[in-house]
Amino acid sequence: MTEYGKPVLLTGASGNLGRALTKALAARGWRLVLTDIAPFPDAVPEGCRFERADLNDGVTILRLAEGCGAILHFGGISVEQPFETVLGPNIRGAYHVYEAARREKARVVFASSNHAIGFHARPPEGEEGNGAKLDFDCQLRPDSFYGLSKAYTELMGRYYWDKHGVENVNIRIGSSFPEPADRRMLSTWLSYDDLCRMVAAAVTAPAVAHSVVWGASDNPASYWGRDHRDRIGWQPEDSAEPFRAKVEGRLGDPVSERYQGGGYTSAGYTREAFSPKGTFDLP
């Protein structure tokens, strides 16, 4: 008897987060259809199978999704790259995933990113608990072509829910690594265990409609406030605070320290001054 009855398609299975999800969900007895353009570097768990595929190949994505009850979309370009590099796997690939979900009546759990909202300013130091946190329904303010592709796919989820009833959970992942690497990650860090529990909750929740959940552990310095975590029945259990003494002195440049997206905002930045705080503000 498995925890989740239908097979689940996982794109991006060969990446760090995909491998963590594979291990955690296979241990729960889930039947996973794993795919990535890169070979899977680990032993494929019992009851799972792996097939190499390009997200640009819509026919193959449709075939891999056959009979699946959910698609965990963690595939695509995972760092900033030129637009033409991001375009195929991240934009066209998202369309192929949602078309597969529509046909199979499957739920999509999408690995979105804080970089979809990265040009929002950080809350003033020490004011995170005074109403300064960003809520799930804030304006999208991508900080990179990578972040732009994440914002686009969130909107695609909105479209497929409104027009076709495809349920989807968009996880705006902060910084998911074994441990925080700098001061910013005291606010944005998401442990692998919290991620895996969140994804399992997003798949098994009775109903999710079109949802956004901030992908961060229980960090007191978090930039983010309201979301749909109660809808999926998830609360984080880990925290970045035990790492504070190790990383709080690791800072970036002035632009990256101003905005929530960190180094993605300052990479290639050509403005002479900071971007306005409000989305539509004059300089």
Active site members: 146
Residue 43 is classified by DSSP as P
Round to whole Å and give the CA distance between 99 and 160.
Answer: 9
112: which strand partners?
Answer: 172
Round to whole Å and give the CA distance between 275 and 95.
Answer: 31
Sequence-distant (6+) residues with CB within 8 A of 163 are: none
Tokens read off for 280: 């539509």
Q: Which of 64, 165, 152 is nearest to 110 (CA)?
A: 152
Identify the H or E element spanning 33. strand 32-36
Phi (first) and psi of residue 67, to 5 degrees: 80, 0
Tokens read off for 31: 């039947």
Residue 207 is classified by DSSP as -
